Structure 1
Amino acid sequence: MWANNMLFSYHENGKLKDLKFVDFQLVKYSSPAVDLHYFIATSPANEVRDKIDQLLDTYYSQLLSTLAALKYPLSDVPTMKEFKCDFEARAFYGVMASAVVTPLVKASQRKDATFDDLAHNEGPGSFREHCYTNETYKNVLKHTLPFYDSLGVLD
């Protein structure tokens, strides 16, 4: 959840009138591995990215616990081994998020940080150039690219 998933409506006096949650990005029924890769590529601190196995173990454990509480038949849930194989097979989603979403998430706040500027201005000093060259984004790539390379996505 972040500000771009919220639609605000204001009264004329500037006070909040209403708020709606919206998220139509990649809407589909799929493996949780897709969301995990998106999360890993865009959101956590590098210290978390360095502990992917622990993250997956915790996620899987919580998934089983939640499904059991919902009385979902655990015999229908993939094993941890199957879950990790699925996670590895869907690693391309993380690479794509790293290339498309993470630059925007890690960019600094700027006056020219608009989709119009992103789409039409690509020269030196532009917002688009900043998205892909700022130190925060480059630091994230130093952690995510070796991880995705280890999964064979960059072969």
Structure 2
Amino acid sequence: MATVELRFSALPEHVRTARLVAAAVARRAGVDEAVLDEVRLAVGEACSRAVGLHASNDIAAPVRVLLIEDEKKFSIEVGDEVPGGAGAHADETEGGAESEPEGEDEMGLAVISGLVDDVEVTTGEGGGVIRMSWPTAPAAVLP
């Protein structure tokens, strides 16, 4: 299992770099070319969400991105340092009382869920993590 770790300052201009790195590592891991745009978009949404959470909570810590190659799948974990994460805020509001950042957060999560079949969002005291994975093609065997 190979892992690439990327940490970047929580600034919007760094999201593009994270997308490019994720696509390059996904391609090397054997993710189908037809799915690479989905990988780029999903990573962009997850990283933009983390950047927004850091900005709205005045957190200076970097955003973490792990790119993990397994035998049969390629996984990406995007982590933020917001205690309780956005999920805690979403649970506290009911009936349209959401503030704009939380609404944007929900929209970002909906986009990610539409792009990725295997996605998991967790939150805790140390921050939140979005885990996404895609199947990889088996390595070609040369005759």
Structure-2-length-normalised TM-score: 0.31
Which structure has more strand as a fraction of its residues?
2
Structure-1-length-normalised TM-score: 0.29
Which structure has more helix as a fraction of its residues?
1
**Structure number with larger C-alpha Rg:** 1
